[in-house]
Amino acid sequence: QVQLVESGGGLVQSGGSLRLSCAASGSVSNVVHMAWYRQSPGLERELVADITKGGLTRYVDSVKGRFTIARDSGMHTLYLEMNSVKPENTAVYYCSANALVDVSMRQFWGQGTLVTVSS
């Protein structure tokens, strides 16, 4: 099992910056991939950015060049640096971890942190 706790959400003005953190605990040594997702009201949850244990990253096109995903070497903490934020970035942001449990890969989720961008 992997437990995830997000923090860092809040109210930020358009054009501002915010840094989200996700603290992982439990069987962290089995984590192979972590990601940030977001969900806006009335919309499906979408992948924002992800990172492998080896450090490979991917971003949704709409945040490329503005958001940066990073993690510590032990996959204990995941970050999302959000710069030049826009009102459309308003959402609940969720941390996710994929870990090998027994012989299968399982996905774990945090409770989410709300980011509100004012215009």
As a whole number of angstroms, the distance between CA 99 and CA 84 comes to 32
| Nearest by Cα to 8 from 104, 97, 110 | 110
Confidence of residue 105 (pLDDT cuts 50, 70, 90): very high
User: Is pLDDT at 75 greater than 90 in this prediction?
Assistant: no
User: Is pLDDT at 74 greater than 90 in this prediction?
Assistant: no
Percent pLDDT > 90 in the chain is: 91
Q: If you average pLDDT over residues 72-79, what whole number do you get? A: 90
Q: If you average pLDDT over residues 27-43, what whole number do you get? A: 94
Amino acid at 26: G
Contact 18, 10 (CB under 8 A): yes
Residue whose pair of structure tokens reads 């971890």 in the numeric block: 97
CA 112 to chain centre: 9
| Nearest by Cα to 115 from 37, 61, 30 | 37
Q: Which two tokens stand for residue 69?
A: 């995903």
Question: What letter does residue 36 receive in the DSSP assignment?
Answer: E
